[in-house]
């Protein structure tokens, strides 16, 4: 058995492990420097699955958390928040890219519709121009015939 002081240190480390176990399900496969840093601050030989290990067994008083435990918990919390933020940023970036692609596609369709409309207008204008040219030629022919009849 180990002396009471050493077990107390293990209890604090177990407390950090239980915090890590609660935070890890939110994390993705991506590792950050903060995650690696937080993992190296815990002792590797501590393995516990019960949640009552952080409470003292003999006394009814709760021990205050140590600076090391607070720093470890803060590092783990910041690491989890950083991983979650990175994941959310990646999701948001993909969403923005898809929306921009959709916007560009929609604008291209609008331009194609406008171009088709202008082509139709151009074809209509060409047909009207030809009809006017034909009427002008007919008017010229009628005038010539009128003057010929006057001269006779």
Task: Assign 62 a pLDDT band (cuts: 50, 70, 90).
Answer: confident
Most confident option among 18-22, 67-71, 131-135: 131-135
Q: What is the pTM of this model?
A: 0.43
Segment 67-89 mean pLDDT: 94
pLDDT in tens, 1-50: 444 444 444 444 444 444 444 444 444 444 444 444 444 444 444 444 44
Q: Please give the pLDDT value at position 54.
A: 53
- 3-state per-residue secondary structure call for the chain: CCCHHHHHHHHHHHHHHHHHHHHHHHCCCCCCHHHHHHHHCCCCCCCCCCCCCCCCCCCCCCCCCCHHHHHHHHHHHHHHHHHHHHHHHHHHHHHHHHHHHHHHHHHHHHHHHHHHHHHHHHHHHHHHHHHHHHHHHHHHHHHHHHHHHHHC
Mean pLDDT of 80-91: 97
- Position 86 scores a pLDDT of 97
Instruction: Read off the tokens for 87.
Output: 């994941």
pLDDT of residue 58: 54
What does the mean pLDDT of the chain come to?
75
Q: Calculate mean pLDDT across residues 127-144.
A: 96
Q: What is the rounded distance in angstroms from the CA atom of residue 50 to the CA atom of residue 53? A: 6
pLDDT score, position 64: 82
């Amino acid at each position: 058995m180990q002396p009471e002081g050493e077990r107390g240190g293990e209890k604090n480390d177990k407390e950090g492990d239980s915090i890590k176990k609660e935070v890890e399900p939110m994390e993705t496969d991506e590792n950050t420097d903060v995650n690696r840093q937080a993992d190296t601050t815990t002792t590797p030989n501590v393995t516990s699955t019960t949640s009552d290990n952080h409470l003292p067994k003999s006394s009814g008083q709760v021990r205050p958390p140590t600076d090391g435990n607070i720093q470890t918990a803060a590092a783990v919390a910041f690491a989890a928040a950083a991983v979650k933020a990175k994941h959310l940023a990646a999701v948001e970036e993909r969403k923005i890219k898809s929306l921009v692609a959709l916007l560009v596609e929609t604008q291209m369709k609008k331009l194609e519709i406008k171009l088709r409309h202008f082509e139709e207008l151009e074809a209509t204008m060409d047909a009207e121009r030809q009809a006017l040219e034909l009427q002008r030629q007919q008017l010229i022919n009628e005038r010539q015939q009128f003057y010929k009849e006057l001269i006779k």
